Amino acid sequence: MIPFRRGRDGLKLTLPEHERALLADLVAQLVSVLEGGDPGDPAVARLLPSAYPDDEEAAAEFRRFTADDLTARKVANARRVLDDLGPPPTSRLDEAAQQSWLRTLTDLRLVLGSRLGVTDEGPAPTDDPQLLVMHDVFDWLGYLQESLVQALTG
Amino acid sequence: MVDHLNASRDPSSIPPRAGAREARRRSCGPPRRGTLGGVTQTLDDTRVGTETDPRLLVAPDRPWVTLVWDDPVNLMSYVSYVFRSYFGYSARESERLMMQVHTTGRAVVATGPREEMERHVEAMHDFGLWATVSKADE
């Protein structure tokens, strides 16, 4: 089953119920990471990276002027995705929803990637069965994202 | 403009080891005309044109850039899509920039005034891309 397909009036979203539930659970966690806004959390640092890595003063000023707005927009995107996941689930995504989905899937993968220690070689090796499940989840989110980008550009 | 600025600049009139920042600070103070006689006066007059507003020197020659950095999470197709949809680059150019990020670790995706580059960086962060602002050639 292809999750995202281009239709006449926007994108058609097809996700089985258990996948919608899993995604909703993850997106709700993303919202709490964003609202927590702990600057010491590496995942938060990746969501709001420094704009001036070599200039602390300029970086702090940029953060002061942008971090709240960026966080609010990320939270709004995530809430839009939660709404679409339902219940009741939405099957058509208009342009605004498509943009929210793109960004939320990205933010979710960035947070999970940070938690799993993802490098160019993939997630950090582990024997922990729970983490291994999250590796699959990370791959699955990548599949969803790829499907969405293909539907928008293909 | 550059010619005009350089024309009156006699290299021998600049004290050795005086950094640009120091020269700038000194030139901002009240004119010390005549305090040490004619030589000092000439030095100050020379600096007024070249050092008072550093942006006059920096802006035309060294603009600011938006850099996008490689990261192990974002999909290549997504990065390409962002360059295309946000900056309006052609599919081919977006692909080229994405590959440059992927293979060399980073790419300049925009050049211009600092404020504009900061807006682009904020937009990239909104998309979840890792982007920074710096002066060109840094």
Please state, in angstroms and rounded to a whole number, the distance separating the CA atoms of residues B57 and B135.
13
Give me the total of CB pairs closer than 8 Å, taking one residue from chain A and one from chain B.
Answer: 70
Task: Tell me which residues of chain A have a C-beta less than 8 Å from any C-beta of chain B.
Answer: 46-54, 58, 62, 66, 69-70, 73-74, 102-103, 106-107, 109-110, 113, 118-120, 142, 145-146, 149-150, 152-153
Cα-Cα end-to-end distance for chain B: 23
Residues in chain B: 138
Choose, out of B126, B130, B135, the residue to mutate when testing the contact with A (most A CBs < 10 Å). B126
Please state, in angstroms and rounded to a whole number, the distance separating the CA atoms of residues A98 and B38.
70
CB pair distance less than 8 Å for A142 and B75: yes
Identify the bridge partners of residue B111 per DSSP, sorted by sequence position. Answer: B65
Q: Tell how far CA B4 is from the center of its chain.
A: 21
CA distance A88 to chain B (A): 27
Closest in A51, A106, A152 to B127, CB measured: A106
* Angle of CA points B84, B89, B94, to nearest 5°: 65
Residues B59-81 have pLDDT tens digits of 556 799 999 999 999 999 999 99
Residue found under tokens 């070689």: A121
Task: Report the number of distinct structural domains present in chain A.
Answer: 1
CA distance A25 to chain B (A): 20
CB pair distance less than 8 Å for A110 and B131: no
Residues of chain B positioned with their CB less than 8 A from the CB of A149: 75, 77-78, 81
Least trusted range by pLDDT, from A49-63, B14-28, B114-128: B14-28
CB atoms within 10 A of CB B113: 11
Contact at 8 Å (CB) between A78 and A27?
yes
Closest in B73, B125, B133 to A109, CB measured: B73
Examine the pLDDT at A1 and tell me if it is beyond 60.
yes
DSSP letters of chain B? -HHHHHHT--GGGSPTT--HHHHHHHHHS---TTTT-HHHHHHHHHHHHHHS-HHHHHHHHS-EEEEEE--SSS-HHHHHHHHHHHH---HHHHHHHHHHHHHHSEEEEEEE-HHHHHHHHHHHHHHT-EEEEEETT-
Closest by CA position to B105, among listed B113, B97, B114: B97
Domains and CATH numbers, chain B: 2-60 (no CATH), 62-135 (3.30.1390.10)
CA distance B47 to chain A (A): 27
pLDDT of residue B61: 62
> For residue B29, what are its two tokens?
């103070």
Q: Tell how far CA B36 is from the center of its chain.
A: 36
Residues in CB range of A6: below 8 A, 6 or more apart? A12, A151, A152, A154
User: pLDDT band for position B26 (50/70/90)?
Assistant: very low
Residues A4-58 have pLDDT tens digits of 999 888 899 999 999 999 999 999 999 999 999 898 999 999 999 999 999 999 9
Question: Is B98's Cβ below 8 Å from some Cβ in A?
Answer: no
Domain that holds residue A75: 4-153
Q: Model ipTM?
A: 0.96
For A152, nearest residue in chain B (alpha carbons):
B81
Conformational region of residue A68, where left means phi above 0, alpha means psi within -120 to 50, and beta covers everything else: alpha
> What phi and psi, each to the nearest 5 degrees, are found at residue B33?
-55, 125
